[in-house]
Structure 1
Amino acid sequence: MNCTKESLLLYLVTDRHWLAGRKLYDEVKKALDGGVTFVQVREKEDMSLSHEDYLREALALRELCAKYHVPFVVDDDVDLALECGCDGVHVGQTDMQAGRVREKIGSDKILGVSAQTVEEALLAERQGADYLGVGAVFPTGSKSDASEVSHETLRAICEAVSIPVIAIGGITGENVHELAGTGICGIAVISAIMAQKDVQAAARDLKTRTREALGL
């Protein structure tokens, strides 16, 4: 599965914290039905999940996303990403260095990298990143270690690199319009979809608002 600007429009990061007893697979399917264009499975906070369970979950989500022709990547866990045969992996600044990840996954897999400065963005691009996730662009409770990135810095990163940039962190249907003109090609969200009662409707509405904000 290729990573294009179009595929990065509405990027869902999973978080079972919001499931309240619901099944992750079912909620991701609803999000896909609502128009999500990219999925990242993220299980950093759930230390009780065994490797076997995580692999089983990743395999099921990989097959689900393939049916929708939507790219599917694993957060941070390069070995798991290779084991489940997904489309790629996303790493942060404190995870494995992007250059090493690219060597490990090869040239045909998607590599996403988190960045908060122009310097980090340029380095990630040189090391083989296919896209950048930049944030947090708004205050967020989803990541305890997330620090805010100004919209001026976000714009500067978009201007400095030639690869696609998505914004992440605290984005909702109510504030996404504030990202207009920054140069991003899409947004990544967790609670704006996963925490909503009607996941499908939330994804559909957010996709519409994002397209409007980006002038698409």
Structure 2
Amino acid sequence: MISFTYKLYLVISEADCKGKNMIAVARQAIKGGVDIIQLREKNASVTEFTTKALQLKALADEYHIPLIINDNLMVAEHVNAAGIHVGNNDLPPAEIRREWNVANKIIGYSIEYIEQLHNEQMEAADYLGISPVFGTATKTDTVTEWGLEGITTIRQLTTKPLIAIGNMQLNNVKAVINAGADCIAVVSAICSASNPEKAAYDLKNEIIK
């Protein structure tokens, strides 16, 4: 099993950057304290996704942090990403393990139903994305809004690293960590910030203090 020691996880796309240069935003976020990054481009063609992934991979390699690709094994393989993150309706983690038979690749798996904690997909994953903790405009196709109690419940049922996502803000991340999450995943709080570096710095220090 991969050692997952990351605390601040940036989920980024071109659209989430609101007209700003995505690579510039990512660089600022990394400087501020982001230590793992995921590229999520749900509506991009494979060619567009791959181009953006290669640019982001070069940046991630420069700072020695992992790049995770959202829900596209072809892109993840092509750019030699550190891993892939999938949801309940995507290619299952157990199948990814069989198809992407490369040591030390990270597989993340979004948990939307409590029943997912008892299937082979959870066992095949390196970390679990608790999605969403709180409702968010950046992801509207979700099933369960977990809240703090949901994180605590899941924490009692698994030893896997838990990554909390969904309206993570400076005023709630510490409570989420205290509820049992290991890492905070952020979209808008960094991507839409006027100063992504400061936003990341403030979030990281709130998480680890």
- Taking structure 1 as the reference length, the TM-score comes to 0.89
Per the alignment, residue 86 of structure 1 pairs with 81
What's 1:189 paired with? 186
Q: Are residues 181 and 59 of structure 1, via their aligned partners in 2, closer, same or farther at CA, if it must alter by over 3 Å?
A: same
| Aligned partner (choices 32, 35, 60) of residue 34 of structure 1 | 32
Name the residue aligned to 2:127. 131
Q: What's the secondary structure of 2:178's corresponding residue? A: coil
Q: Residues 71-82 of structure 1 correspond to what in structure 2 (within 5 A)? A: 71-82=66-77
**Structure 1, unaligned stretches of length 5 or more?**
none
Alignment partner of 1:208 is 2:205:
yes
Aligned residue in 2 for 1:119: 115
The aligned residue for residue 179 of structure 1 is: 176
8 Å CA contact retained: 1:10, 1:207:
yes
List structure 1 runs of 4+ shifted beyond 3 angstroms.
Answer: 2-5
The answer for the alignment partner of 1:25 in structure 2 is 23
Partner SS for 1:143:
coil
Cα pair distance change 1:19/1:150, threshold 3 Å:
closer
Q: What residue is the counterpart of 2:58 in the other structure?
A: 63
User: Matches of 1:43 and 1:158 in 2, distance apart?
Assistant: 29
Deviations 1:85-132 (A, max 9, x none): 111100000111221111111252110000033321342332x10001
The runs of 5 or more residues in structure 2 that have no matched partner are: none
RMSD, matched Cα = 1.7
Q: Which amino acid aligns with 2:19?
A: G
1-side partners of 2:83 and 2:204: how far apart? 23
CA separation of 1:111/1:22 partners in 2, compared to 1, >3 Å: closer, same or farther? Answer: same
8 Å CA contact retained: 1:118, 1:156: no
CA distance in structure 2 between the partners assigned to 1:65 and 1:137 by the alignment:
27
Instruction: Tell me, yes or no, if the aligned pair for 1:139 and 1:170 is still in contact at 8 Å.
Output: yes
Q: Which residue of 166, 174, 182 maps to 2:163?
A: 166
- Specify which of 11, 25, 28 is matched with residue 13 of structure 1: 11
In the alignment, the residues of structure 2 paired with residue 175 and residue 101 of structure 1 have an alpha-carbon distance, to the nearest angstrom, of 33
- Residue 3 of structure 1 deviates from its aligned partner by 4.8
Task: Name the SS of the counterpart of 1:81 in structure 2.
Answer: helix
In 2, the alpha carbon distance for the partners of 1:13 and 1:104 equals 24
Q: In structure 2, do the counterparts of structure 1 residues 184 and 107 end up closer, same or farther at CA, with 3 Å as the change threshold?
A: farther
> How many residue pairs get matched?
206
Match for residue 149 of structure 1?
146
Q: TM-score, normalised by structure 2?
A: 0.92
Partner Cα separation in structure 2 for residue 106 and residue 151 of structure 1: 36
